[in-house]
Amino acid sequence: MRKLVSKAFTSRAVEALRPEIERITGELIDTLTDDDTVDLLDDFAFPLPIRVICLLLGVPVEEQENFKSWSKALVSGDSPEAAAAATTEVVAYLGQLIERKRREPTDDILTALVAAHDDDHQLTGIELVSTAYLLFIAGFETTLNALGNGTLHLMRNLDQWEALREDRSLLPGAVEEFLRLESPLKHASFRCATQSLTIGDVEIPAGDFVLLAIASANRDPQRFDDPHALDVRRPTDGGHLAFGHGIHHCLGAPLARVEVRVAFGALLDAFPAMRLAADPEELRWRTSTIIRGLHSLPVRLNRR
């Protein structure tokens, strides 16, 4: 199933998409009024990846607003009932969209998946909808939280913000540092030990479930110097695990990296004196076993 969509997420394909990402980012920046206090998540970090993933899936522009409301219900963590209802609505919509792609194919990932189901029989009907749903969810969660978490740490370490403002060549490495320091995902998927084993001084009996803590690994003092500090000049070959590892390494990592780099570049250009508009210790983190992200991030834009 990865092979069916992997071409859309190669570094070359994502670079070809960069002008569209920059256009969407610029439009969102323009909606932010000078010197206003805004929720950067709601007004910028949230709609950016939603619009990009809708573009890739071939969701018509006039229908993308639905995805914004569904996404909010899915990620808020406040109401399991609202999340379940949103899931049902997203799945129903994707089913309808698949039928439209079947009748009128377009150049997007969803049309390619429909062809894989109809022509090549590589996907069952359930797999077709499930893969589209997964791409939708995974397509915005990592980017949303990387933007929010990275901005929070920069606002708490303004010397690092100034370093990026003065030297944009640091931005690619800084994005990796945001991902390492406050990984958008706390844990990898559950695993079950098929045989007894020992890792470090911990014995894991056969049949036990194991939850691997990505966030802990990314702050391993044996791997990273001063691991709890933000350092946008940190060498980028440290091998953080924010995107996983091995055969399940995040398919959309190239897209997330470009989106976050473009977004921070735009924020630095438009709002060089941006500051937090709340006590960072009073900000609320979402209640989730897996996701590490804020409920809101109020900032003063201070364009001038």
Residue 190's pLDDT is 85
Whether the CB-CB separation of 126 and 159 falls below 8 Å is answered with: no
Q: How confident is the model at residue 304 (pLDDT cuts 50, 70, 90)?
A: low
Per-residue pLDDT reduced to its tens digit, 160-169: 999 999 999 9
Report yes or no on whether pTM surpasses 0.95: no
Nearest to 270 by CA among 55, 75, 25, 91: 25
DSSP state of 213: B
Question: Which of 160-184 are b and which e, b meaning 16 or more Cβ less than 10 Å from the residue's Cβ?
Answer: bbebbbeeeebbebbbbbbbbbbbb
Residue 112's pLDDT is 87
Residue 258's pLDDT is 95
Per-residue pLDDT reduced to its tens digit, 24-75: 999 999 999 766 789 999 999 999 999 999 998 898 888 888 877 787 787 7
Most confident among 72-76, 100-104, 124-128, 165-169 (mean pLDDT): 165-169
C-alpha to C-alpha distance for 14 and 110, rounded to whole angstroms: 17
The torsion defined by the Cα of 64, 23, 299 and 185, in degrees rounded to 10, comes to 60
